[in-house]
Chains A and B, each alone.
Chain A
């Protein structure tokens, strides 16, 4: 069974260590959640795996389905099957959602194959309807002037269109209203399958009531310090992080 396998990863930003000997393994078919205080390195993990140029990986390995992510360019990693739904999606003025997703799909197509616009729009509209995104959004510039929740939905739309092998959702729930949380979670759940893995980063147990994880990890100062089942999320929700801090100190 193939997995996302991260071992002993150390990541620096401008010579400051953020991830520190980080290890995590997620088999396909499973959903893992990472929770952890602000600044503990959750987004750093996700962006480092996606090969953001500001994140300097100095040690460790990261493998997806046999691909060594460490040596790959961001676009290669994406085409290899990793999808990252960003915590803060970037605004790209003048590039419409429709053209953007189209370019991403075309980048995955064999040269000889012909892009079929009709099929593309049919699928796009279907996914937009599922996620409660107005069809007019296809003509809007990517994330440009979108509300926080609209940006998050747009991330999930991209994920649904690109059919990745492994998805990282970085605080996709923050910014979503109550109804949107349900709709987006349903979208994610419909993509759960035995040959796809998920890493869900969140601060709130509420999301994990909808997207029920197989495992929950707690991240602290760039490391996983505790792992458990979904009850760990409830425990954190009621007790906060202090008890973990105390346990670590002890």
Chain B
């Protein structure tokens, strides 16, 4: 069992065998394969206790901040997911995982085998698989006449409760959808946690436009693990905006499984106070003629810290791969810190892969220029930072949403 050895008194109940057993019995209405999955995950959690502390996948990360020992218990509120518009039409299904498990569990059964992202956060991963009690399920089947635009809100619980969400997104061949996910808190004083695991299956020629906005209360913890399976000629444009939570572990993996797939992964962090953002990504090229592009930009003030570790992986048969990976950090204060670990693992010979990382401080000439127009220092810094992040925000093709995000970043500086 994983416990806080220094302070065993605070070990939350959900790490005990008793708790798991009563949880399992409360969930005995669920399909057998799910009960098995929960049991296996629970068993793996126990084994993982012995994993060595020196783990490259946690390099630079103050791992203790990303554990679970400070939580009191699990919150199982069904209000933690909010869908707009919820739909049960055969064209597209958007519903809570609970409802799908009740009405049509076979839809989810296909996912039982899927693993990942597995970029190091094994505890979050297995805890989420063990204890998820909510989540959303989206399946887009029909070709839409008009653009399909869906919204999912995830709410982090209050006090020191943690909620586990597991989500499933299926785009059938040649479908297209824009999915906006907001991560918010019940109130600004929340010290809760949200662990979120999502599997995306993107069918042949399908297009997913996904925007994630995390603006949870500053006392909270956020674990977000996501795995994209891209089939032939599909396109994923994933834009992640991270502003909230005291500590986050973010794992994003794109698997380019069949020729012609294209994975575009953009993200920004706007960090302040003592916020920690630990981001791990992988662009895994299995098939030839695929492309992937990643751009991660982080702005950090006060004592905020970010870690970016990205890997481009190319299998021997994935010839004609085109892969890019860039991490740019802007530090606004002496005590802010950004660590960057770009990586390549290329086993094919006919590929074009580049990666790069830069960390810079605020350009004093730019700052002076803004000051010389009467703009106060704080506003000037936020304008320059917003300008720096514009490259990411500009990827969102929704003027109303981009305006909202700009406002959010701007107020993050006040």
A89 within 8 A of B: yes
Nearest CB in chain B to that of A94: its residue: B387
Contacts of A73 in B (CB 8 A): 371, 377
Contacts of A158 in B (CB 8 A): 373
B-binding segment of A100-108, A119-127, A198-206, A234-242: A100-108
Q: How far is the CA of A112 from the CA of B377 in the complex (A)?
A: 21
CB <8 Å contact, B374 and A94: no
CB <8 Å contact, A108 and B364: no
Q: How far is the CA of A89 from the CA of B366 in the complex (A)?
A: 9
CB <8 Å contact, B387 and A78: no
Q: How far is the CA of A219 from the CA of B18 in the complex (A)?
A: 87
Q: What is the CB-to-nearest-CB distance from B400 to chain A, in angstroms, rounded to a whole number? A: 16
CB <8 Å contact, A78 and B374: yes
Contacts of B365 in A (CB 8 A): 90
**Pick from B364, B377, B383: contact of A95, CB under 8 Å:** B383
Q: How far is the CA of A103 from the CA of B366 in the complex (A)?
A: 15
Contacts of A74 in B (CB 8 A): 368, 371-372
CB <8 Å contact, A162 and B374: yes
B405 within 8 A of A: no
How would residues 348 to 388 of chain B score, 1 for a CB under 8 Å from any chain A CB and 0 otherwise? 00000000000000001110111111111101100110111
Given contacts A94-B387, A99-B383, contact A104 B374 (CB under 8 A): yes
Q: How far is the CA of A89 from the CA of B365 in the complex (A)?
A: 10
CB <8 Å contact, A50 and B372: yes
A75 within 8 A of B: yes
A37 within 8 A of B: no
CB <8 Å contact, B376 and A107: yes
CB <8 Å contact, B377 and A75: yes
A84 within 8 A of B: yes
CB <8 Å contact, A89 and B375: no
CB <8 Å contact, B369 and A94: no
A225 within 8 A of B: no
A137 within 8 A of B: no
A92 within 8 A of B: yes
A61 within 8 A of B: no
CB <8 Å contact, B372 and A95: no
Tally B residues with Cβ within 8 Å of A: 23
B390 within 8 A of A: yes
A53 within 8 A of B: yes
Contacts of B387 in A (CB 8 A): 92-95, 141
B4 within 8 A of A: no
A215 within 8 A of B: no
A135 within 8 A of B: no
- Which residues in window 70-90 of A have CB below 8 A to B? 73-75, 77-79, 84, 86, 89-90
Q: How far is the CA of A36 from the CA of B83 in the complex (A)?
A: 69
CB <8 Å contact, A94 and B389: yes
Q: What is the CB-to-nearest-CB distance from A51 to chain B, in angstroms, rounded to a whole number? A: 8
CB <8 Å contact, A104 and B375: yes
Q: Chain B CB within 10 Å — which of A74, A86, A89, A141 has the most?
A: A74
Nearest CB in chain B to that of A164: its residue: B374
B391 within 8 A of A: yes
What total of A-B pairs shows CB separation below 8 Å?
A: 80
CB <8 Å contact, A92 and B373: no
How would residues 384 to 403 of chain B score, 1 for a CB under 8 Å from any chain A CB and 0 otherwise? 10111111000000000000
CB <8 Å contact, B375 and A94: no
Q: What is the CB-to-nearest-CB distance from B16 to chain A, in angstroms, rounded to a whole number? A: 51
Q: How far is the CA of A92 from the CA of B372 in the complex (A)?
A: 14
Given contacts A52-B368, A74-B368, contact A95 B375 (CB under 8 A): no
CB <8 Å contact, B376 and A84: no
Contacts of A92 in B (CB 8 A): 366, 369-370, 383-384, 387
Q: How far is the CA of A138 from the CA of B104 in the complex (A)?
A: 53
CB <8 Å contact, A84 and B374: no
Q: How far is the CA of A90 from the CA of B365 in the complex (A)?
A: 7
- Which residues in window 273-317 of B have CB below 8 A to A? none
Q: Chain A CB within 10 Å — which of B368, B372, B384 has the most?
A: B372
CB <8 Å contact, B386 and A94: yes
**Pick from B373, B377, B384: contact of A78, CB under 8 Å:** B373
CB <8 Å contact, A100 and B373: yes
CB <8 Å contact, B384 and A95: yes
CB <8 Å contact, A86 and B364: no
Q: How far is the CA of A34 from the CA of B182 in the complex (A)?
A: 58
Q: How far is the CA of A100 from the CA of B369 in the complex (A)?
A: 11
Nearest CB in chain B to that of A80: its residue: B374
CB <8 Å contact, A75 and B383: no
Contacts of A79 in B (CB 8 A): 374
Q: What is the CB-to-nearest-CB distance from A139 to chain B, in angstroms, rounded to a whole number? A: 11
Contacts of A89 in B (CB 8 A): 369
CB <8 Å contact, B369 and A162: no
Q: A77-B372, A79-B374 are in contact. List 11 more A-B contacts (CB 8 A).
A: A75-B371, A75-B375, A75-B376, A75-B377, A78-B373, A78-B374, A90-B368, A93-B387, A94-B384, A95-B390, A107-B376
The 5 closest A-B pairs by CB, nearest first: A94-B387, A78-B374, A94-B390, A74-B371, A95-B387
Residues of A within 8 A of B (CB): 50, 52-53, 73-75, 77-79, 84, 86, 89-90, 92-95, 99-101, 103-104, 107-108, 141, 158, 162
17 A-B pairs with C-beta separation under 8 A: A74-B368, A75-B374, A77-B372, A78-B373, A78-B374, A86-B372, A92-B370, A93-B388, A94-B389, A94-B390, A94-B391, A95-B383, A95-B384, A95-B387, A103-B379, A107-B373, A162-B374
